[in-house]
Structures are given as C-alpha cells and as structure tokens.
Amino acid sequence: MNEKQRLESQQTIKADTVASKPEKDYSKYFQSVYTPPSLKDAKKRGKEEVEYHKDFEIPEQFQGLGKGRKYYIRTYGCQMNEHDTEVMAGIFMELGYEAVDSVDEADVVLLNTCAIRENAENKVFGELGHLKPLKLERPDLLIGVCGCMSQEESVVNRILEKHQFVDMIFGTHNIHRLPQILNEAYMSKEMVVEVWSKEGDVIENLPKVRRGNIKAWVNIMYGCDKFCTYCIVPYTRGKERSRRPEDIVQEVRQLAAHGYKEVTLLGQNVNAYGKDFEDIDFTLGDLMEELSKIDIPRIRFTTSHPRDFDDRLIEVLAKQGNLVDHIHLPVQSGSSDILKIMARKYSREHYLELVRKIKAAIPNVTLTTDIIVGFPNETDEQFEETMTLYKEVGFETAYTFIYSPREGTPAARMKDNVSMEVKKARLQRLNDLVNEMAREAMEKYEGQVVEVLVEGESKNNPDVLAGYTRKNKLVNFKGPKSIIGQLVNVKIINAKTWSLDGEMIEIDEQVEVV
Ligand code: 5AD
Ligand code: SF4
C-alpha cells in the first residue's frame, strides 16, 4: 500500500469511527486533519504484505520549516520509545530545528508517551497540567502528544475534552509524517489529530540523532502479535513486521565504522524476528550469527519471549564473541495457571526447561526477567510459585510490576478478587527477594576483573567514571576522562546491591576477565 492509498484508508477509519460514536462526534470541531485511533481496528491482523520504503526525504515545501525554531522531546517508557525519539530528533534536525534541553526554551514540545501501565499515563497527564500555563503565556508554543498513549481512543478523547490547548496528536505508526503534522499544526487553529490504527509499512532510511556515540539502539522488528491478555502493546504498536536482514546488518556495520562499541537490537518480541518473511527462512539466530561477524564489541537484544526462544538461537549465543552472555527473559509469573490466563503460551515447566537448555549451552549466563504480581484472581499459592521459580532460576535482577488493567485488553474485563493491599504486600515480598539475590550476584564479583564500557562521569560523583559490564552491571571507578567510550579492565573492590566499585588495572595474560 502506498502513502496515498494508506491515507485514503485512514480516512475510511475516520468515517467509521466517527459514525460509530454518534453521541460524541469530535469531527465537528475539526476543519483540518482528524484521524482518531481505534483499538478495535488496531487489533486486526491482516494478511497484506508489508512494504519496505527506502526513499524517505523531507518534502521540498517543508524544508527550512524549523529555521530559527527550537524543539524539546520528553520521552517516557521503553527503549523503543527512546529510539523513536532519536528518529523524531533526526527529522527535526533535517527540518532545521535546534535541539534544546528544557521546555522553557522550546518552540515545539513533544511528549513521547508510554501506555503500558496506568501510572505511566498519569505522569503524562500530570505533565500536560504543567504545560498549560506555559501555553497560555506563549500561545505560539506548539505542544504535541505522540507515542503509545496516542494510539488509545480513550486518551485522545480525554485530551480533546480536557486539554484543548494541545496542538497535535500523532501515533507510533506515522512518526515519519512529522513534517506534515507540524506544518498542519502551524497552519490550523484546530488540534491536529493523525493517528493510524493500522500499522504502517517499514520505512528504512529515516534520519536519526542518536543519544551518545558509544551505545546505539537498532530496531530489528516492529509490533507484537502475541496478545498476552494484560498487554496493550499489540494494539499500540501493530502487527509484527521484521526489518530485512541486509538493512540491519548494514546499520550495525555503519555503527561499528563510526566507533560505536555496543548495539542493542530492539523489538517487542525479538524471538519472532523473521517469522513474517515469506521469501526467506531467516530467524533471530541467523541474524545474530550474521551480526557476530561484525567488528563491534558487544551486541544485545531485548525483549525476548520464552515461547519463541529456539535452539538455533541458543546455539549461536553459545559461541559468545560479541554476543553478550546476558539474557533478559520475561517470565511474568511462576504459576502455569496464571501463565495460561495471561495467554503467555508456555508453562512453568517449559520455562524452566528453556532455562536449563540456556544454562547448559552458556554456563556463565546471567538471566534477568520481568514479573507481574496481582494478576486478576492470583492466589497466595500462585504467587508463591513465582517466588520459588525466581529462586530456582537464580535471576540476578528483575523489573517487577503490580498488574495494571489496560482498557481494551481481555484481562481488563476479568473480575478481580485480589485487593490492592494484598498486591502491594506481594510486590514488597518479591522485591525483597530480588534485592537479596541481586546483592548475592554482585558479591560474587568482589576480587574479579571485569570488562567495562566506560560511558562517562558517574551521575552522583563527577570525579568517578561509570560504565557497564557485558552483563550490564554498573561499575564506578577512578580514571582519566580520556578513556570515556573505551573498554577497560576494572578489578572489583566493593559490591553494592545495584553497582560495583572498582579500580582500573592493566592486565597481564594470566587474569581472566568476565
Ligand atoms: N500491568 C503491569 N505490568 C505490565 N507489563 C506489561 N503490561 C502490563 C500491565 N498491564 C509489564 C510486563 C512486561 C513489561 C514491559 O511490562 O512485565 O514484560
Ligand atoms: Fe506485550 Fe510482550 Fe506479550 Fe507482546 S509479548 S503482548 S509486548 S508482554
């Protein structure tokens, strides 16, 4: 589908959506662009082939749009959002805008939002509250909301009703239309709403302004088809679309040539990489093997889904080299019954078996995870199964969350007999375990020599340098600023729960570096 056809189809969505809500016909407020989202449409998974475009360029009439203007983007949520911000920064730069570090200096402010839990959304509405007086003071300031929240009709409706001062809303599938959307917002007195409920094609050569020149994110796929019952992502990010291997390899090669030391491959469910290719049989394992040949010290990926984590990938990761020995493998729950209602499509036993295979192939592997507590009707026994699984796997750390109902997802319609008090108590117990095991994992490093990628000054102390090991442990140590961006060896002197203190050393051949 080309751009014109897609826009026409979006107009159809607009007409349908508006027609199905006669009591609230927001379109009457709009003379210009009004394409609202629909979670119902976002749920559909069509058979149409994804088109790949390599011909992105700023249309001539928008060149220079940003001359003398400044932009600021505030990013919420995951690495995918951080990376989308880098792309939008690239587009702003090509339009001639200047980047600034604060809302006060900016002529355009974008909130790149996250919809994964209610508290993420509350933060954004809080920020909109702060922006309102600024907009009243400076009516020329453009305020935009983009990212995952924009894909939800309840959010768009709330902004339309309560935050009329917002100038533009656009979603995750059309960030490449930023020039057109900005232009429309300058021209129009109305709020510009352009959200595509159906995912877009893959657009390859979008400009990027990367944050830093040491570590880089590289998208390998977009979207998610897993539809775990609690998760909004398959609706906000659309169907799974993999980037072609040659485009990914080329991007990583270029990053290596520019001196980047670490690449994190991004996707909502990276283990499904390649499943959508019809012409080639090429999986994440195959991709990792290709990337392992590139001269760049570290390659990671996030996030994995245990269901699609196959033997081929394990075999390739076991060769290590530049493929790091740290795997983030979200388990969500240790109870097979809860996993079933979450529609995770694996059981506790399957997960443990996968862990056993990974550990057999990569004995020094570090595993970390994501866990949701207080899923609807989770019993004490089911929660205890999460605790025992955590210990049995020996995770080194975890992101832990209380279940947050997301409108439009199946779990949000489930009755829930667990009180918030119980959920909070479970989270506390789990976090105590996570901290205890994180501390134990860190203590093992005392006396060892680790390879650290030096990222800069420590946030808390400018006299100290900070960087991360291959297993993503934060290390603080004293050293000259000239080594920022380099890999150095550090002997660990003191372990804390979330960081290690060490001393930089020259190594001789005898010392094992981990
Ligand atoms: N409530 C709480 N946590 C959630 N996550 C995803 N959806 C929800 C939700 N509705 C968590 C999962 C996922 C991580 C990115 O966020 O653990 O792996
Ligand atoms: Fe959400 Fe991850 Fe499940 Fe996809 S695999 S639905 S992103 S939790």
Q: Which atom of ligand 2 approaches the CA of 344 most closely?
A: 3
Task: Flag whether pLDDT at 171 surpasses 50.
Answer: yes
Per DSSP (E only), the strands in 319-393 are 326-328, 366-373
Å from CA of 430 to ligand 2 middle: 22
What is the C-alpha separation between 401 and 156, in angstroms, rounded?
Answer: 26
Å from CA of 231 to ligand 1 middle: 6
55 — pLDDT class (breaks 50, 70, 90):
confident
Task: Flag whether pLDDT at 2 surpasses 70.
Answer: no
What is the C-alpha separation between 92 and 129, in angstroms, rounded?
Answer: 25
DSSP H helices in 413-476: 420-443
Which residue has better confidence, 418 or 39?
Answer: 418
146 annotated among ligand-binding-site residues: no
Q: Which domains can be identified in the chain, with CATH numbers?
A: 3-34+48-194 (3.40.50.12160), 202-443 (3.80.30.20), 449-504 (2.40.50)
**β 366-373/397-402 pair status:** parallel
pLDDT at 25: 54
87 Cβ below 6 A of ligand 2 = no
pLDDT at 46: 79
pTM, two decimal places: 0.91
Task: Flag whether pLDDT at 1 surpasses 90.
Answer: no
| 468-506: pLDDT as tens digits | 999 999 999 999 999 999 999 999 999 999 999 999 997
Å from CA of 369 to ligand 2 middle: 13
pLDDT at 76: 97
Å from CA of 344 to ligand 2 middle: 9
Nearest residue to 328 (alpha-carbon basis) of 304, 307, 293: 304
| 88-97: pLDDT as tens digits | 999 999 999 9
Å from CA of 141 to ligand 1 middle: 34
| 364-387: pLDDT as tens digits | 999 999 999 999 999 999 999 999
Average pLDDT over residues 320-325: 97
Average pLDDT over residues 57-81: 95
Phi and psi at residue 243, to the nearest 5°: -75, 150
401 Cβ below 6 A of ligand 1 = yes
201 — pLDDT class (breaks 50, 70, 90):
confident
403 Cβ below 6 A of ligand 1 = yes
pLDDT at 313: 98
Average pLDDT, the chain: 92
| 158-169: pLDDT as tens digits | 999 999 999 999
pLDDT at 507: 65
| 84-136: pLDDT as tens digits | 999 999 999 999 999 999 999 999 999 999 999 999 999 999 999 999 999 99
114 annotated among ligand-binding-site residues: yes
Rg of the Cα atoms in the chain: 24
User: Exposed/middle/buried for 336, CB within 10 Å: 0-12, 13-18, 19+?
Assistant: middle
Amino acid at 436: E
Q: Which ligand is nearest to the CA of 399?
A: 1
| 219-273: pLDDT as tens digits | 999 999 999 999 999 999 999 999 999 999 999 999 999 999 999 999 999 999 9
pLDDT at 22: 33
Task: Flag whether pLDDT at 157 surpasses 80.
Answer: yes
For the chain, the residue count is: 514
Task: Flag whether pLDDT at 57 surpasses 70.
Answer: yes
DSSP H helices in 188-335: 233-236, 245-257, 284-292, 311-318
User: Closest residue (by CA) to atom 18 of ligand 1?
Assistant: 370
pLDDT at 30: 52
Task: Flag whether pLDDT at 148 surpasses 80.
Answer: yes
Task: Flag whether pLDDT at 4 surpasses 90.
Answer: no
What is the C-alpha separation between 215 and 353, in angstroms, rounded?
Answer: 33
Q: Which atom of ligand 1 approaches the CA of 402 most closely?
A: 2
DSSP labels for 439-485?
Answer: HHHHHTTTT-EEEEEEEEE-SS-TTSEEEE-TT--EEEEE--GGGTT
pLDDT at 484: 96
Taking each continuous run of H as one helix and of E as one strand, the counts in the chain are 14, 22
What is the C-alpha separation between 370 and 77, in angstroms, rounded?
Answer: 15
Q: Which atom of ligand 2 approaches the CA of 232 most closely?
A: 1
3 — pLDDT class (breaks 50, 70, 90):
very low
pLDDT at 23: 44
The two three-digit tokens of residue 317, written as one number:
């990761």
Average pLDDT over residues 17-41: 58
User: Closest residue (by CA) to atom 1 of ligand 2?
Assistant: 231
375 Cβ below 6 A of ligand 1 = no
pLDDT at 20: 32
What is the C-alpha separation between 22 and 44, in angstroms, rounded?
Answer: 23
User: Closest residue (by CA) to atom 7 of ligand 1?
Assistant: 231
Percent of the chain with pLDDT over 70: 93
